Amino acid sequence: MIARQTIFEGRVQGVGFRYTCKELAKGYDLTGSVENLPEGTVKLILQGEEEEIEEYLQDLSEESALSHHIKGQMTTPIEVDDSLKGFVISK
């Protein structure tokens, strides 16, 4: 299992982006969280197998109904958090 953090830029707040992230996660074997950040970006945390994470991020950024709102994204590796269960919307 690995963990990744992705920061999304663009018009990603106030358009249902966090809800879309949560709904999309139902089709994957992942745990994670998504939250709005004060500067207008969205932080997404995903944990699972690398292939699942890559497929999820591709679906979100290229295939989802909100993909056109994403103007940039940066994904970085982070430590796995064993306490994270399911997929939650924070803030």
Residues serving a catalytic function are 18, 36
- Which uninterrupted H or E stretch holds 13? none
Report residue 60 as tokens. 């979100």
65 near 20, Cβ under 8 Å?
Answer: yes
In the block, tokens 């990744």 appear at: 4
Give the integer Cα–Cα distance in Å for 30 and 4.
11
SS3 assignment, position 12 = coil
The DSSP 8-state label assigned to residue 40 in this structure reads: S
